[in-house]
Amino acid sequence: MATISAVMVKQLREKTGSGIMDCKEALAACEGDMDKAVDFLRKKGLATAQKRAGRALSEGIIQSYIHMGGKLGVLLEVNCETDFVAKTDDFKEFAKNIAMHVAASNPLGIRPEDIPNEIIEREKEIYRAQALEMGKPDKVAEKIMEGKLGKFFKDNCLLNQAYVRNPDITVEDLLNEVIAKIGENITIKRFVRFQIGES
């Protein structure tokens, strides 16, 4: 049985933002292995998020972010269940961080189903043509196209993107961590990104 020190708990808290008792439990369950404890907390966060997924989200905030001397701006709506949570620092910080992420990474939508079908079809055509050009048979070309489309979603869907402030996790991982910490369902409802000179 590994000894769980206060220093280890503090390190895990700093890495994950989880509560003291959750960090102690994770370290004990993972016999003091820090990386496994991080994964343990992430899975727990995901389980909490899934439990809360059906709840109504009628509160929240509109967050703005203006960058580069007013040449780039984002408006973002993040929803939660109660006005109390909407006013917490954790919730506001999450909204601010996501607005900054949108400014930096320019996603095309929140999830794959938000991306217009014509864009997806055009990408599929390009990937398929590239594979056939390399002399790949139809079935292989299809597989290559599916793989590249998965990468396209990872790069262009907000929830699938690597979080700019911690590329080891996705925006969805961060969302699940915040849901677990706050104890309420949260969703990123919509965003719009403006950049001078872009149509």
C-alpha angle 110-152-70 in degrees, rounded to nearest 5: 55
Please answer whether residues 23 and 16 qualify as being in contact, where contact means their C-beta atoms are separated by less than 8 angstroms: yes
pLDDT for 16 = 66
pLDDT for the residue numbered 17? 64
68/195: higher pLDDT: 195
Query: What does the pLDDT look like over 66-123, one tens digit per residue?
Result: 987 889 999 999 999 888 989 999 999 999 999 999 999 999 999 999 999 999 999 9
Domains and CATH numbers, the chain: 6-52 (1.10.8.10), 59-110+157-195 (3.30.479.20), 116-155 (1.10.286.20)
Element (H, E) at 85: helix 83-86
pLDDT at position 20? 75
Q: Which has more confidence, 71 or 45? A: 71
189 has pLDDT over 60: yes
Averaged confidence pLDDT in the chain: 86
- In the prediction, which pLDDT does 123 show? 92
Question: In terms of pTM, does the model score above 0.85?
Answer: no
